[in-house]
Structure 1
Amino acid sequence: MALIHDSIPDSEICKKATQLVTEVSPTSLCNHCIRTFLFGDLLGIRDGLKCDRELLYLGAIMHDLGLTERFDAEQRFEVNGADAARAFVLEHGLSDEKAEIVWDAIALHTSIGIAIRKQPEIALVHLGATADLLGMRISDITPETVEQILDVYPRLGFNQQITQLMVSQVKRKPQTATFTWLAEVGRCCIHGFVSPNWNDMLNSSPFAE
């Protein structure tokens, strides 16, 4: 188990980012963010990707800040979280260039088919998050390793917790759900929820054809 702890970057900025996430997030969400890093890191090794592990960790540990009460704002949760994380890393001395990678990693972490075409740190936050949430590519990590990670950072009812957090977002800001994962959450979990579909958007255009 020590090997799992030891694999997490221990720079001062990473420690402070972990402290922030721990303060504002339920434990199940915090554990998800750490598992996102661990799974993403392992998939990067498997795929032969070279990345800045500190940037990967910062993107992973803070990728769901937008689902927390402190960092909830008017935009969709990915953008709110990305904005908060960028402000945090700039405040703690990261360069503008590195801060933009953190921003992209968080803003694009739900963007299947897009994030994987970006820099390794961005791609691996996405791969780690989808591995933990949806099981995508989890078979590329040995079952023994997955079990060890879950022993140290258990799920603690994560599926239900993340669904509740997203439902809360949709109820407060339904306009941010259009054409996103949150629209699917709304349709599945909120009775009577309606989000504009393709025809709605097209028919609202001012053009006749």
Structure 2
Amino acid sequence: MASVQPKTRTFAGVALIDTPLVNAALQHARAIHDDMSFNHIHRSWVFGALIASKLPNFAAVDLEVHAVSAILHDLAWDYKSTFSTPDKRFEVDGANAAREFLGREAPDWDSRKRQLVWDAIALHTTSSIAKHKEPEVALCHFGIFADFIGPAFPGGIISKAAFSAVIEELPRLDFKEGVKQILCNLCKHKPETTYDSFAREFGIRFVDGYEVPSELERILNALDATAEV
């Protein structure tokens, strides 16, 4: 029996998977994000789909898993988000929020698909790990990365014309300043969650009073605490 091909729609010249779950994820993200953040997550999905269409490594990727991961990847990057906790990196808070969403909206999904979404979101800023994970996880990271660097994406995969077509549909809306403010706020309001992430570079450069304890000091303190147990 031939497999049923998923329904798709074309957006800015890119074929996107079109399922009730993907549309529910879009609606959920739209309710959470401001225009700048929503356009970013939407573009990240589109660029990921474009990359998948051009690289054989992603020929068998689960496009619905990728779509949900990309669309929900920043649910907690605003420190004021209802999904934000004081003690977890925003990537982990976002992954947990996406897992809750799937529990409601995709009760028939198996544990592997749920874990792929969690991993894709939790690792989306950690290139040194994400790019070596399952294709869905790597693709989510690459699509997000592509939204930051556009046609400079390696291999000439994203042309200037393709990038411009997506930006025309989903404007950047002062994306650079918006991201800066979001990451600086994380460094101001939950700094302990940023010390081992790329956000710390924003704290070091732009946030007065932000200090990152040395990794050696943290390890030695942890060893001292363990020795007292």
Q: TM-score, normalising length from structure 1?
A: 0.91
Partner of residue 62, structure 1? 72
How big is the shift at 1:66? 1.3
How big is the shift at 1:10? 2.2
Partner of residue 92, structure 2? 79
How many aligned residue pairs are there?
Answer: 207
Question: How far does the alpha carbon of each residue in 1:105-156 deviate from its partner, in whole angstroms, 9 at most, with x for none?
Answer: 0000001121111111110110011111244626421211111001001101
Q: Percent of counterpart pairs with the same letter?
A: 31
**Bigger mean CA offset, 28-37 vs 38-47:** 38-47
Query: Any gaps of 5 or more consecutive residues in structure 2?
Result: 1-8
Partner of residue 27, structure 2? 19
Out of 132, 140, 145, which is 1:117 matched to?
Answer: 132
- Which whole-Å CA distance do the structure 2 matches of 1:67 and 1:34 have between them? 15
* SS of aligned partner of 1:7: strand
Greater per-residue helix proportion:
1
How big is the shift at 1:44? 2.0
Partner of residue 146, structure 1? 163
Question: How far does the alpha carbon of each residue in 1:82-102 deviate from its partner, in whole angstroms, 9 at most, with x for none?
Answer: 000011012112322211110
Out of 1, 16, 22, which is 1:8 matched to?
Answer: 16
Q: Which runs of 4+ in 1 moved over 6 A?
A: none
Query: Any gaps of 5 or more consecutive residues in structure 1?
Result: none
Larger CA Rg, structure 1 vs 2: 2
Question: How far does the alpha carbon of each residue in 1:67-95 deviate from its partner, in whole angstroms, 9 at most, with x for none?
Answer: 14121113100000000001101211232
Q: TM-score, normalising length from structure 2?
A: 0.84
The answer to whether the Cα contact below 8 Å between 2:187 and 2:210 also exists between their aligned partners in 1 is no
